[in-house]
Amino acid sequence: MDTLEYMKLVCGILTVIITYGGFRMYTDRRKYIQEVEKLKAEVRDAQVNTRGSELDNVQKAMQILMDEIVEPLKQEINAIRKELGKLRRAVEKSNSCRFATNCPVRDELQKPEKTGEDYLPRQPVQRKRIRSDTAAGTSEHCKNSVSGRDTEIDTDRNRL
């Protein structure tokens, strides 16, 4: 055998080895890609399941919040509304009370809640005096010292 034939034989053997290695590498790569895709699909499924379980947990937490906090607060608010309605009706009826002018409850309700430098308490309302008949001469003086009788003549130009 000649060197040329040896070279052909060596090249043939190398070609077979390289082809076999390349084919094997190609098939292994395909298996690897399939495995990676399968693992990616499993991760996506796990993420979907995790999101689903997170949503379930959030729904359970919201239900607990509604049952344990919101519902009792609603009941308490409704009870306060009923009591406020009673109080409102009582205050509306206080005007017809025989003690309406010096009512301690009304005075207590009209007291200011705030105190401090910037807060000016509300001044009490001055009650208007009812004038009697001007011809009878028993009229009372109002705050500008003009009697009901003097309003007809009005010499001091005091307007009411």
Q: Is residue 19 part of a domain?
A: yes
Q: What is the pLDDT of residue 59?
A: 92
Find which of 75-79, 149-153, 156-160 is predicted with most confidence, using mean pLDDT. 75-79
Q: Which helix (H) or strand (E) holds 10?
A: helix 3-65
Residue written as tokens 């011809």? Answer: 135
Q: Is residue 123 part of a domain?
A: no
Percent of the chain with pLDDT over 70: 70
pLDDT in tens, 66-112: 899 989 999 999 999 999 999 888 888 877 878 777 877 777 777 77
Q: Is residue 140 part of a domain?
A: no
Residues 6+ apart with CB under 8 A from 100: 94, 106
CB 142 within 8 A of CB 129: yes
In sequence order, the β-bridge partners of residue 147 are: 141
Q: Is residue 146 part of a domain?
A: no
- Name the pTM for this structure: 0.38
Q: Is residue 155 part of a domain?
A: no
DSSP reduced 3-state for 147: strand
Taking all residues of the chain, what is their mean pLDDT, rounded to a whole number?
77
State whether the Cα torsion 69-72-77-83 is positive or negative: negative
Residue written as tokens 């790569």? Answer: 29
Percent of the chain with pLDDT over 90: 19
Q: Is residue 16 part of a domain?
A: yes
- Which residues form the domain of 38? 3-110
Which is more confidently placed, 20 or 131? Answer: 20
DSSP reduced 3-state for 126: coil
CA distance 88 to 42: 65
Count of domains in the chain? 1
